[in-house]
Amino acid sequence: MTALGAVFWDVDGTLADTEMEGHRPAFNQAFLELGLPFHWNEKLYADLLAIAGGIPRVTVYAADQGINLTDVQLKRLRDVKREHYFSRIRDGHVRWRPGVVRVVNELHDHNVQQWIVTSSGRPSVQALLDHAKGVLPVFDGVVTSDDVTTGKPSPDGYRLALKRSGIAPSCGLAIEDSAVGLQAATAAGLPCLLTPSPWDKDLVETSHLATAVLNHLGDHDKPSRLQHGPPCLDGMVTLNYMQSLLAHSL
């Protein structure tokens, strides 16, 4: 049996519920502070999540409203939004998804490499990791939008993480929550465990690409529900279950 050498984690919506309670209100606070006539409710933001990356999201939305923001405006918006996002993390508004803390620690205890691969910028990721100290072990590496030219659904981030980790795609597993993330992982040759975000409408058409689909990773007091893939005993994703997914994906 092929041994699991590394797990590659997405961040937003996968490791933690960052989108609706972290990024979205932070953007709204930045819009208000900078006098921009935008406000993103949950439904609108869910639609905008089809665009990978915060600043590309703003750029497209602003253009749709007939407003072309300059590079200076976008940089200022990014900086102000980040400060509001950091504040929301420090204040405890962003929570880990069920099972994440348990799984990350189990993998660490068994010396499985763990990497982050995300379309978010490094400062936002680092803020979350700083918040995780004492809860999650240190990840073996981080690949962000600052490290590649093209974000998800491009596989560039995953390919770079695979290269840096020294792990063959057949010995790795991606964990994602979105259609663009799933497409990026599978294009890089990685089997993918999907824990869908409820607002990603595109997953209806693409979830079949995943090796397994569960509503979350599961905990002792909150078992997961299997939607597709091999049976998951006790409603909890474990190292043994992830190991089985490699064989199932062959």
Looking at the annotation, which residues are catalytic? 10, 12
Tell me the C-alpha distance between 96 and 98, whole Å: 6
Pick from 75, 42, 33, 150: nearest CA to 58? 75
10-13: long-range contacts (C-beta < 8 A, 24 or more apart)? 10/116, 10/117, 10/118, 10/174, 10/175, 10/176, 10/177, 10/178, 10/181, 11/116, 11/118, 11/120, 11/125, 11/128, 12/118, 12/119, 12/120, 12/177, 13/97, 13/177, 13/178, 13/197
Tokens describing residue 58: 């703003």
The Cα 75–Cα 40 span in angstroms is 19
Contact 161, 190 (CB under 8 A): no
**Distances 31 to 25, 26, 108 between C-alpha atoms, Å:** 10, 9, 40
Amino acid code (one letter) for 163:
K
User: How crowded is the C-beta side of 164, counted as CA atoms within 13 Å?
Assistant: 17
CB 117 within 8 Å of CB 92: no
Using DSSP's 3-state secondary structure scheme, residue 193 falls into: strand
Joined tokens for residue 154: 């491009």
